[in-house]
Amino acid sequence: MQRPDQERSTTTRLPQTRLNRRWTVRLLGVLGVACLLTLAGVAMRSTVSVHADEEGPPLPGTGPSFPIPTNSGAAPVAPAALSGESPYAKSVDANAGPTALAKLFSTWPQDQQPELVLVLSGQMYGYLQPCGCSRPQLGGLERRYNLIDLLKRERKWNVLPLDLGDLANKKGLHKQNLLKHRVTMEALDAMGYQAVGVGIQDFRLPLLDALAGFTLQKGDVPPFVLGGNIAKRSVNYPGVGSKPMVGLAEVIAKKNQPTVGVVGVIGSQTAETVVREVDPKVEFESNGVILRDALKQIDAANPAPEVRVLLYQGGSKEAKLAAEAFTDFNVVLCKTEEEEPPTFPTMIGKDGEPKRMLIGVGHKGRHVGVVGIFRNQGKIDLRYQLVSLGEDYETPDDRVEAHPVLKSLEAYTAELKRDQYLRMYPKVKHPVQVSNPGARFVGSQACQSCHVNEYAIWADSKHAKAYEALSTIATKPANRNFDGECIICHTVGFAFEGGFVDMTTTPQLKGVGCENCHGPGSLHVAEPRNQAFYAALSPWKVNPKDRLPEVARMMHASANLTTDEKRTLGRVDETCQKCHDTDNDPHFRLEDAKYWPSIVHGNGNRPLKKK
């Protein structure tokens, strides 16, 4: 169904080709590069110039373009702008600019509109929304939709979104991962995405199941899934009629804007990983043959593309070789090894060759790349901007109800609740249960009678109210307390035998309690003086007398901690970071005032007055 705010477009579906030469992925590592170089006989075009904002100071939250190969990680990237007047702004910066886009695109031509902008994303890995456990957090499908909407409504730009693939989780509950993939494709459809690549994580679902959940239901309409070098696509991924659900290329032609040809392939190293780790039956054809053939096909379309984009599901080193071999591609989107993306694209092209952009956008949907397509003296002129999806792109209250992505997310968590996904999660034995098979979780209330002061500190902490943070505070979407990916860090023992199940079955295990850190305590409750259980309940202790340093010393950066104190601090910190990780609490430091000092308890380093 055509969206009312979207001009009807013409997408040329390229015919499937049969190739006589077919290699399994085991040969690609040897022949792939050779094929790229020897089969690259495509005439170079000199009608495209590229500008990647290489001159002048970096924009806020920027860093260098990525080396090939990369040897070091990029610095964390903050939101490019925090505004106070944008219709999407919920700003935390009093000195912010007038709109969410105010500090972006400043080096692009100011006297003309781009004829088209490409919004490039990839390597989302199942991150639908920021969890909201801390601020600021980047990313989310809601914010990406809002950015695209702003580009259309505020800038009046034509927008063509494309995704590299790897939409799916790296781990987690299989059924939920399939559901998330479908919800993500629904969101990409709402944003107007035209093409999506295929990555390792998509193969793990497996790919056929993922395609059946959305692509097969939609039929031959965008967003198209591209993986041109996957062998036997018509047989293994049959679609509507004779067209496979996984295609080779698309040509997107819209009125009054440049025609764009998009090709998607899986790189040789990625393909090798798929065969080795996911499914040894998957076969891949030579990228050299496929890319040469794809370029011929898209150039035969009417109208022929003026801009060619390659979705290369592989690392930057391989993608660079492809860009060097096939110079007709103006933009190559590839995977990044590091989570944080480079600020600028790597420019590919020898003297006398047209320059091409090699782009990576990082992991988990925190950033997108925007390519502006201008026309300068009859030639296509490309510009680039990395956009960090910060809090400026939150949905204003008056648009929440009608927001298509938020509707999908609400339906997603409602389905988790309705179908009781929490009960589908597998349970394993806690380490305490391995050494003490009779141990079970009892809840923090069972500790209160002996540990009066410690219980009082806990009851007054945010840990005790962690479940309510999901059940009553979290929105966009609601029902987070029925999502196992959230509940695991907001209840006691969810991942373990006898841990939290739901509020009907195990209400005493809601919130983050004593046993999240100490393990199931039933044996200790039954025999509080039995020292045989002490070590299991304090796994960070190497010696029974190990203690965290006093708070005053812990908080002092120059404090001289003993070797034992440093070891204990490190082991406790590891325990905390199982939930306070870089995704959910990127600013976590155990010794900061709002963490351990705010809940310090026990008899080791701070006497507590009894009530």
Structural domain ending residue among the three candidates 355, 378, 413: 413
In a domain, residue 46? The reply is no
As for how many domains the chain has, the answer is: 2
Spell out a b/e string for 274-296, using b for 16 or more CB atoms within 10 Å of the CB, else e: bbeebeeebbbbbbbbbbbbbbe
In a domain, residue 609? The reply is no
Same domain, 265 and 128: yes
- Which pTM was predicted? 0.83
In a domain, residue 103? The reply is no
| C-alpha dist (Å) from residue 405 to 174, 401, 411 | 22, 10, 10
Q: What is the pLDDT of residue 9?
A: 43
In a domain, residue 111? The reply is no
In a domain, residue 238? The reply is yes
Structural domain ending residue among the three candidates 358, 385, 413: 413
Write the CB contacts of 64 (distance below 8 Å, at least 6 apart in sequence): 74, 342, 343, 344
Rounded to an integer, what distance in angstroms lies between the CA atom of residue 609 and that of residue 405? 52
Q: What is the pLDDT of residue 139?
A: 96
In a domain, residue 213? The reply is yes
Rounded to an integer, what distance in angstroms lies between the CA atom of residue 504 and that of residue 506? 6
CB 210 within 8 A of CB 183: no
Same domain, 142 and 219: yes
Same domain, 485 and 344: no
Q: What is the pLDDT of residue 136?
A: 84
**Best CA proximity match to 501, nearest among 469, 525, 467:** 467
Q: What is the pLDDT of residue 220?
A: 85
Q: What is the pLDDT of residue 558?
A: 59
Same domain, 423 and 386: no
Structural domain ending residue among the three candidates 413, 447, 478: 413
CATH number (domain holding residue 251): 3.60.21.10
Q: Which helix (H) or strand (E) holds 312?
A: strand 307-313
Query: Which residues, in sequence order, are bridge partners of residue 121?
Result: 163
Same domain, 486 and 383: no
Rounded to an integer, what distance in angstroms lies between the CA atom of residue 394 and that of residue 89? 6
CATH number (domain holding residue 445): 1.10.1130
In a domain, residue 100? The reply is no
Same domain, 567 and 517: yes
| Full domain range(s) for residue 474 | 414-599
Q: Residue 87 half-sphere exposure, CB side, CA atoms within 13 Å? A: 10
Q: Which helix (H) or strand (E) holds 176?
A: helix 174-191
As given in the structure block, the two tokens for residue 387 are: 């956009």
Same domain, 409 and 426: no
In a domain, residue 41? The reply is no
Q: What is the pLDDT of residue 16?
A: 42
Same domain, 391 and 440: no
Q: What is the pLDDT of residue 85?
A: 36
Same domain, 407 and 455: no
Q: What is the pLDDT of residue 18?
A: 35
Q: Is 524 helix (H, G, I), strand (E, B) or coil?
A: helix
CB 211 within 8 A of CB 174: no
Residues of the chain short of pLDDT 70, as ranges, are: 1-98, 557-558, 603-611
Same domain, 255 and 395: yes
Same domain, 419 and 366: no
Same domain, 457 and 311: no
